[in-house]
Every structure is written in structure tokens, then in C-alpha cells.
Amino acid sequence: MIEDWIVVTCGVVAIVVVMAVTLLKFRSAERRMHESTHKLKVYNDLLNAITELNLASGDPYKMDIAKKNLAMTLNRLNLLGSSGVLKSTSDLLDFLNEHKDRDYDTLRLHNILNTLVIEARRDLNPTHARRVEEAHVRYRFFAPPKTK
């Protein structure tokens, strides 16, 4: 009779442990998915803000709005961006500050943007990012010539 209770108790404990581990794994996956959703939105907002900045180069009003959008996006990015994305963004801002009110090397800008996208992809989905990188994909961006 005691042996039956031990077996039943061990079975119940095993079921509780399995359920607890399953719940923890589910919650962890749910948290990662939630974080990835927020990161994707911020990374998308960052690329949109950069595009707005490029497109607004001749219009002071649009440029002010684009700078504000970029600043707000950078604030959110600083809270959740991966180290690779933050470094690439820093490189981009350094590049833009170096070439204020002057023509700039569009190829260098595209290389920085490519690195930024690669780092964002690595952060969001490393397995897929690796496959894309192995295919040697270059991302294309529109950057109109800067007006003086």
C-alpha cells in the first residue's frame, strides 16, 4: 500500500514538474516573440526615419520633421536594439554628421545601411539572416543626391 502511494506521489510530482517546465518554456518563447515584435517595429521605424531624412534634404520643414522622427526612433532604439544595430546606427550618425551640408559617398552610405539591416536581421532571426548572408544579398536603398 505504501509503495502505491509512493508511485502515485512520484507520478504526480513528475506531471507537475513537466507542466511547470512546459509553462516556463512557453512563457519564455512568448516573451521572445513579444520582444521581437517591438524590435521589428523600432527597426522598421529607424529605416523609415532614415528614408524620410534622405527625401527631405531640400525642404527645411520636412527636414525638421524627419530629424524629430529620427531622434524619437533613436530613443526607442537605445532601449532595445542589439549591440550590432546600435553600432551600425552610430556609424550611420557619424557618417551623416561628417557630411552635413556637403555631398557624400553614396556607396559608403549604402554599405553602412546594409550593415545595419544585416545586424537587425541577425537580431530578429539569426537562422534566416545566416541563409540570406550566405546568398550574398545586397540590400538596395534610395538616397537622392544631397542638395546644397
Q: Which amino acid is at 7?
A: V
In a domain, 8, yes or no: no
The domain total for the chain is 1
Domain for residue 5, yes or no?
no
Q: Does residue 18 lie in a domain region?
A: no
Q: Which of 25, 4, 7 is nearest to 15 (CA)?
A: 7
17 in a structural domain: no
| Alpha helices for 56-105 (secondary structure H) | 60-80, 83-98
Looking at residue 99, its pLDDT comes to 77
Dihedral-angle region of residue 101 (phi above 0 means left; psi in -120 to 50 means alpha; beta otherwise): left
Tell me if 105 is assigned to some domain: yes
pLDDT value of position 1: 75
Residue 132: the pLDDT is: 86
Low-confidence ranges of the chain (pLDDT < 70): 101, 143-148
pLDDT computed for residue 76 by the predictor: 94
In terms of residue numbers, what domain contains 79? 33-134
Residue 145 counted as domain residue? no
Q: Is residue 144 part of a domain?
A: no
Q: Which pLDDT does position 107 carry in this prediction?
A: 84
74 within domain boundaries: yes
pLDDT per residue as tens digits for the range 48-91: 999 898 888 778 999 899 999 999 999 999 999 999 999 999 99
